[in-house]
Structure 1
Amino acid sequence: MAAPVIIALLKVALMQGASVAAPEPHAFVLAGAGRFAVLADLTTRRRQGDIAEMRSLQVSEEAFKVGDVEYWGGWSRWRFDCAAMTADRLDFASLRADGAEGPSTPEPSPAYPAAPGGDAAELLVIACSTEDRAAEVTTVEDAVSLGRTALAQ
């Protein structure tokens, strides 16, 4: 499609009241800090029966470089069985210091018992909870800062 046609279509859409939605904010809570800080994003928490899914952000103590690219950590999608107390990390996607994600790499390992004190158990408690929690921070940048503060203590 030629550029003038695309511009004309955008003008029509704007005149008809179309809008571009801003990305929804995150709702991060610190799940734990050990080797990495792990934060749960409450906006991604979904529950159906005993199964809960949620996304988490893993933050490193300092940014690290791979080649010329600087990274803050990465994202993981999780599935938890709240009755069986098992965790299944579904994937991992790197998080660059410029905010870019990915690519996502599937994690094919089966679900496993969430050992008390481990990242999976801490995330399971948050994902399976029926209580409302207030976000500690709402941006990725603030989540990285919160995670690094927790790691420094």
Structure 2
Amino acid sequence: MILSLLSLLTLSEPEGPHRFVFLGAGRFAQYADLASLEAQGEGGRIRVFQVVEPHFRAGGTSYWGGWSWWRFDCGARGHVDRLDFVAVREGGEEGPATLDDAPSYEAVQGGDAFEIVVAACNPGDYDTDATTLEEAVTQGRANLAVGD
């Protein structure tokens, strides 16, 4: 168990270009990075970026949003488990990972987690929306503005 937690903390951004696909916008704009997709049995893991609105600040620091690794299952129940969260400051500097120990849950249609499962289980159905984090942030903020 300790080894698995340590390996989670040392996961880094995938090498090479990203393959961001837009999942939707609500409180945040969500982008799955299909380049990070790791198949494992009938599911796997994928990294998702949440874009925050422009000028979002916490503790006096400006942020672009944050990354999370998600474990998902493509079976009939479509369970997901958010594994961590890493805040990303303006400019791209990542903070330390905070483990998410909440239990896995069923991804229900209409929710953000459902969109993650659909994209992760059907990556060939998606066109790439952005290949850099900066592009995803710019597009995500534009999508958030549409909802205002």
State the TM-score bracket (shorter-chain normalisation).
Answer: 0.7 to 0.9
Equivalent position of 1:71 in the other structure: 63
How far apart in 2 are the matches of 1:89 and 1:34? 18
Structure 1 segment 60-139 matched on structure 2, within 5 A: 60-83=52-75, 84-129=77-122, 131=124, 133-139=126-132
- The offset of 1:66, in angstroms, is 2.2
> In the alignment, does 2:12 pair up with 1:37?
no
How far apart in 2 are the matches of 1:104 and 1:38? 18
Decide which structure has greater strand share. Answer: 1
Code of the aligned partner of 1:94 = A
Task: Return 5+ residue gaps in structure 2 as ranges.
Answer: 1-14
Tell me the alpha carbon deviations over residues 86-141 of structure 1, each in whole angstroms, 9 at most, x when there is no partner. Answer: 11000000010020112100000111010211111001100111525331111111
Aligned sequence identity (%): 49
Q: Is the 8 A contact 1:63 1:97 kept in 2?
A: no
Task: Return 5+ residue gaps in structure 1 as ranges.
Answer: 1-22
How far apart in 1 are the matches of 2:44 and 2:24? 19
Q: Is the 8 A contact 1:59 1:144 kept in 2?
A: yes
Code of the aligned partner of 1:65 = R
Instruction: Give 3-state SS (helix, strand or coil) of 1:102's partner.
Output: coil
How far apart in 1 are the matches of 2:93 and 2:27? 23
Runs of 4+ off more than 3 Å: none
How far apart in 2 are the matches of 1:101 and 1:89? 18
How far apart in 2 are the matches of 1:135 and 1:43? 10
